[in-house]
Structures are given as structure tokens and as C-alpha cells.
Amino acid sequence: MIKTPKLYFCDTGLCAFLSSWTSRDTLMNGAASGHYLENYVISEMLRNAAYGEKEVNLNFYRDTNQKEIDLVMEMDGLLHPFEIKCAASPDRKVIRSFSLLQKSGKDIGAGGVICMAEKPFPIDAANSLIPVNLL
């Protein structure tokens, strides 16, 4: 695993303003929309973890082959992998990278793809499409 940190903004509105995005529509249709969505999801997950009753560790995974998992939530001894995609119906193949976590020796729990879907939808027995508006 590579130990390169990622930088996230706690206020995506401020981040958009500083980057000169002038409107919501411009941002949503721009090339950086996926980065802003990922930033938003991570900041919401951090808030939820901070106020939750259980201890939760949030990380991302990147190996030397540049394979990534956007969010790995460790809770109760399980690793829960999540990809974050700015699409209503992302390619379900993105969960293939979740198998990279098997090298950790820890048990893998439920995960999924956090996306712009309207409602949750199962991908397989352990993973689902998760609408971002449920965070």
C-alpha cells in the first residue's frame, strides 16, 4: 500500500468558489464533478463517523500498480470498501478492485458504489449501488 495522503476540503462550496466554478450546473457538468462528489462524500462520512457511537477508521487504498479504492471504512474488525462515482448507473465492474483488500488478512464486509442513483440497488450479495442523497 502507498502512504500518499489525499487532501479533502470540509466545505465543498468554498472549494468550488475558490476554483471559480460560477454555478451548480457548471460544476455538475464540468470535468471536476467527480472530484467534488468524492470530496463531498468523504466529508459527510467523516461527519457521520465523528458523531457515531462506534469507532470507525476511514482510509483510501492505492497500491504500487495505481489500483485504488476511494474509501475503505474499518468498523468492528471488518473492512467496508466503497467507490464513489458521479453517474446514476455506474459500471458495476468497479467493485472488482475490492478484492485487493483480501491481501490485508482482514474480513471484508458489505460495501458498494456511492453514486447518483435514485434508490439503492444490489450489485451482488455484498455490494450495492448507494444513492449519495442517503448519506
| Ranges of each domain in the chain | 12-134
What sign has the CA pseudo-torsion 125, 97, 43, 11?
negative
Which pLDDT value is given to residue 30?
81
Average pLDDT over residues 77-95: 94
Residue 108: its pLDDT value, please?
96
**More reliable by pLDDT, 23 or 3:** 23
- Out of 61-65, 67-71, 100-104, which region has the weakest mean confidence (pLDDT)? 61-65
In CATH, what number does 12-134 get?
3.40.1350
Q: Kindly state the percentage of the chain with pLDDT values over 70.
A: 97
pTM: 0.88
